[in-house]
A and B are shown apart, each in its own frame.
With several copies, the nearest count.
Chain A
Amino acid sequence: MASEHPRANLQPLTLHIPEPKFRPGDAVDFAEVDVPPAGEARRPDTADKASDFIDLAYTLVRVLDDDGNAVGPWDPKLSPDVMRRMLRSMALLRAFDERMFRAQRQGKTSFYMKALGEEAVAVAAAYALDHEDMCFPSYRQQGLLIARGWSLVDMMNQIYSNTADRLGGKQLPIMYSVKEAGFFSISGNLTTQYPQAVGWAMASAAKGDTRIAATWCGEGSTAEGDFHSACTFAAVYRAPVIFNVVNNQWAISSFSGFAGAEATTFAARAVGYGIAGLRVDGNDALAVYAATEWAAERARTNQGPTLIEHFTYRAEGHSTSDDPGQYRSEGEPNAWPLGDPIKRLKDHLIAIGEWDEERHAAQDKELAEQVKAAQKEAEKNGILGHGLHQPLESLFDGVFEELPWHLKEQRQQMLDEETASGRPWDRKA
């Protein structure tokens, strides 16, 4: 065939490499972030077809306006009591994060990850889901456990890998597993939980159960193939699952542009699969609640999956191993236009006369005490690196249901080693 573009006439191609707006030292101005007014987004019927509300993947479902009012069709009209409990859960999560972050800095454990600034995402979702619904979280949804009233001491025991750690010190701190609270074992490998959530949801549907699944991953993690497999399976079998994409703008040092945010929203991925998609103000607890409730209703009525992008901001470093000052402007967290999720819900409760600053301050104090007391309790069971908290032989527990001979041999070898050595481990620590 004829080459209709003689090469000599062609302009050289260029490769586009995304670049975030601000780097260390830059003054931050988020004016370009498009924030539609609260209450503006329409709320389709949960029985509507996904193709009928594609626009919702490109706006922001927002309920709380700048004056602390709850407005528009997505207002879940929660009782003040429920809202106060949500507020309390978020504040507790923040207090917990702060204390555990510090514990890591004090050398009491190896690792910690905060959810600072994105507390609403997990907490409000937990309130909107049934307690029996199954959550497949990433590492930043400890808010689910806290909202479901799970024991702080138990969480801390895991963080400390101590004698009371139900996971026997086997997992990195914060990689909880709490079946009783409908919280699936967290994996270190990103996004593997997505197809697993779909499988769980498919199983529930196949069994004629009524429970649904929900899963979370970061915006950066959406690039993994597992994300795509999950969306494809969920679309094909109309699995009763909620996909949450927590778009907190950063994936360690990489801004969301490296996950595709320059081209479209993450909620738009849903459009690509023909499944329901919502883009939500992730710092608005009522919007997160409403979106989750709506998606759960769709799932429960066999309308299939919903993908919710939670537009939020990671106000802290990625983890205790990270220093965000190396790659982004320190002005970002405070300039973030969607504000602080705790303050926004607090302001709303105050605006409707159901809360006040004094009670809030008192609650903060109370929660700090609660966390401190829990920490004290947990530390009775030991902290990481100070003594041997698990029997050595437990290293082999759970590789298989029953130990095959080779693991028995290796276990014996390990015990013999200890005997033979002057290893400074206290078996009974």
Chain B
Amino acid sequence: MSDMIEAPVSETTDAEPTTRMNMIQAINSAMDIMMERDPDVIVMGEDVGYFGGVFRATAGLQAKHGKTRVFDTPITECGIIGVAVGMGAYGLRPVPEIQFADYIYPALDQLVSEAARLRYRSAGEFTSPITVRSPFGGGIFGGQTHSQSPEGLFTHMSGIKTVIPSTPYDAKGLLIAAIEDNDPTLFFEPKRIYNGPFDGYWDRPSQNWSKHPAGEVPTGYYKIELGKAKIVRAGEALTILAYGTMVHVCAAVVAEAGIDAEIVDLRTLVPLDIETIEASVKKTGRCMIVHEATRTSGFGAELSAIVQERCFYHLEAPIERVTGFDTPYPHSLEWAYFPGPVRIGEALKKIMKDA
């Protein structure tokens, strides 16, 4: 399936030289480059310092940029974000890590009531140019508290942006854009595909980024504009909206099913690239939305609502949501929860029924 995703060269502003990176390395490179370019960028979080993070995303950064710019923190997500907001108000550009997205809830008040609201309530006197990185999503037998996909929550909160990459190339370019952005951004990293794209067939051998075109990543600086989706597969039969891991799962299913789907990788949930979405759905007349998060009030609900509002008269079948179930993330039945190829395939059949 790796060659189903287009090579990304066109977006690169400064594309040479390139090298093979997995998503962790690409994320690491984005932080490294931004710390080189901007002395105000600092990296902090639980275990991110000497050790380099439990997923190694910050490996080597402390040794290179020093302890004052890359450091471990106390285990208080509330404190991590609160302190980052204060640093942002001073003029720094903090990149805090929340070790797992499941642990972001203690920080919610500082994110929602503070980071997201500071510019508004102070009429721009103070801002929160912070980028919160956090691995999210399941499929790693992580159980209830190492698997959640809470991205939908943040899309309901005015004043904060939400970004989710699906490849090393995008991860680096988007993370650089997020760090440069002057508003708070949540950067959720699909940990299931840190090492390689996952096609959703958990019982098949896993792949790695070295054979994927988007695993070829410029070593230098480049960025991908926030708010721009990417059509990873052009098609006419239906539009599939997805992000993160599910982009790859959808691509695999579509390939196996031999359906001419247009797959849109949203990349940024807020602000959403409505133009790309609208154009695609108006063209295909059908829309499927796929995410791993629980169904009710997940971001798929917003996507469905907005597509319906804008493309009502073009729709030839009901918009389908394919999602995780409305249960906590289980351990042993992880693959029964996961919106994998079967669930997507069934929905595809349904939506294409009258086509």
Q: Which residues of A contact B (CB under 8 A)?
A: 15, 17, 19, 23, 110-111, 134, 136, 161, 165-173, 175, 177-179, 184-185, 187-190, 192, 194-204, 206-207, 213, 220-221, 223-226, 228-230, 232-233, 236, 251-254, 258-260, 321, 326-327, 384-385, 388-390, 392, 394-401, 404-407, 410, 413-414, 416-418, 420-421, 423-424
Contact = CB atoms under 8 A, between A and B. Distances in A.
B90 A420 contact: no
Contacts of A169: 330-333
B110 interface: yes
A255 B82 CA distance: 22
B8 interface: no
A251 B75 contact: yes
A200 B109 contact: no
Contacts of B141: 110-111, 384-385
A233 B74 contact: yes
B221 interface: no
Nearest to B344: A417
A199 B90 contact: yes
A102 to B, nearest CB: 18
3 smallest CB-CB distances across A and B, nearest first, come from A199-B86, A188-B145, A195-B82
B86 A195 contact: yes
Contact of B87 (A161, A194, A203, A225): A203
6 contacts: A172-B142, A195-B110, A198-B82, A399-B327, A401-B119, A420-B346
Given A192-B113, A252-B47, A421-B342, A199 B325 contact: no
A15 B332 contact: no
A192 B342 contact: no
B85 A424 contact: no
B146 A192 contact: no
A253 B72 contact: yes
Nearest to B105: A189
B54 interface: yes
B121, B144, B295 interface centre (most CB from chain A within 10 Å):
B121
B126 interface: yes
Contacts, number: 285
* Tier of interface size on chain B: 35 or more
A252 B327 CA distance: 29
B145 A189 contact: yes
Contact of B123 (A168, A195, A201, A404): A168
B124 to A, nearest CB: 5
B336 A197 contact: no
B113 A189 contact: yes
Contacts of B343: 413, 417
B149 to A, nearest CB: 15
Interface string B311-336: 00000000000000111101111001
B78 A177 contact: no
B83 A399 contact: no
B123 A167 contact: yes
Contacts of B330: 169-170, 395
B13 interface: no
B82, B84, B274 interface centre (most CB from chain A within 10 Å):
B82
A178 B126 CA distance: 10
B289 interface: no
Contact of A405 (B73, B91, B123, B271): B271
B19 interface: no
A178 B125 CA distance: 8
B114 A196 contact: yes
Interface string B36-56: 000000100011011100100
Contacts of A23: 50
Contacts of A226: 78-79, 82, 106, 109-110
B123 A200 contact: no
Given A177-B125, A189-B145, A229 B76 contact: yes
Contacts of A225: 76, 78, 106
Contacts of A417: 342-343, 346
Interface in B66-115: 67-69, 71-79, 81-92, 94, 102-103, 105-106, 109-110, 113-114
